[in-house]
Homo-oligomer: A and B are copies of this chain.
Amino acid sequence: MDSSWEDLTLAFSRTSMFPFFDIAHYLVSVMALKHRPGAVEGAWKNPFSSWFTAMLHCFGGGILSCILLAEPPLRFFANHTNVLLASSIWYIIFFCPWDLISQGYSFLPVQLLAAGMKEVTRTWKIIGGITHANSYYKNGWLVMIAIGWAQGAGGIIITNFEQLLKGDWKPEGNEWLKMSYPSKVTLLGSLIFTFQHTKHLTISKHNLMFLYTIFLVTTKITMMITETSSVTLAPFEDILSRMLFGWQHQFSLCEKKCGAKSSSNGTGSSVSKPITDGSDDVKRKHSKKTE
């Protein structure tokens, strides 16, 4: 049984992303673009701009990692097949008569299949990013994590930036880097695969790829079926944030009880705020648990 598991995961890790998984990725990306308000009208008025945005949605991660490694951001343009594939999908989705593709995509099983396949490409991208970064910086595990993460989830940053330039998006304080669920999961994956690459995890690469992809696909599909977002990682985040930033809360609480004697000097206002913040946070957590 052990050897058949090995065979399965090895075969899985050798699956080619081109063309079917890539098509699913382009389909999901361009459909996400189409559901933005004003995107359809914009495409009729200014097809070039719409096409350019679609390319950024499809190849955003690659573009970001190219920028971070000082490689030509236009490199994805040299891969004619993929550009033409993505362009055709953009053309069909936006300009198909009777909106056939959108109607087909509105069936949940089709969406689930496409979303699941898109998540598979994420694993491949993370590993591609890490391998690529490793060829630049031999032991630069921080760079490897960053590039793996940029390759897998950087499209969000690129498209946000593009919306900022087009004036469709007004940034709010603390919104820019508030990580979405895909970002967090990609960062986790990037961490795991980097540690596997630097031999700190003794699991073999194809096994890890299989397990991580299964994790990605199942969480994505359960999230789509149950229509929740970002539940799975909440407990781990809670533990992590309590480990890193939680003990100060206890100090703060203690300090509050003992009275705020130290807030008489110049930096007092910046001291007192975290205290209330902290206690509110703890209260919120308590009320969550009692619910």
Interface positions of A from 18 to 75, Cβ below 8 Å from B: 34-35, 38, 40-42, 44-49, 52, 66-74
A259, CB-defined interface residue at 8 Å: no
Contact pick for A72, options B34, B52, B136, B247, CB 8 Å: B136
A95 and B170 contact, Cβ closer than 8 Å, known pairs A69-B74, A74-B69: no
Interface positions of A from 120 to 175, Cβ below 8 Å from B: 136-137, 140-143, 146-147, 161, 164-168, 170-175
- Least distance between A153 CB and chain B CB atoms (Å): 13
A238, CB-defined interface residue at 8 Å: no
A44 and B277 contact, Cβ closer than 8 Å, known pairs A74-B69, A74-B147, A267-B103: yes
CB <8 Å contact, A45 and B174: yes
C-alpha spacing A83/B106, complex, angstroms: 47
Chain B residues, Cβ within 8 Å of A251: 97-98
Chain B residues, Cβ within 8 Å of A161: 165
CB <8 Å contact, B165 and A274: no
Chain B residues, Cβ within 8 Å of A172: 167
A281, CB-defined interface residue at 8 Å: yes
A3, CB-defined interface residue at 8 Å: no
Chain B residues, Cβ within 8 Å of A35: 270
Chain B residues, Cβ within 8 Å of A271: 98-99, 102
**Which residue of the partner chain B has the closest CB to A73?**
B68
Interface size of A by CB at 8 A reads: 77
A12, CB-defined interface residue at 8 Å: no
CB <8 Å contact, B168 and A173: yes
Segment among A176-184, A194-202, A209-217, A218-226 that sits at the interface with chain B: A176-184
Chain B residues, Cβ within 8 Å of A103: 262, 265, 267
CB <8 Å contact, A178 and B267: no
Chain B residues, Cβ within 8 Å of A6: none
CB-defined A-B contacts under 8 Å, sample of 14: A40-B270, A40-B273, A44-B245, A44-B274, A44-B278, A66-B70, A68-B72, A77-B140, A78-B140, A97-B247, A99-B267, A102-B270, A166-B171, A167-B173
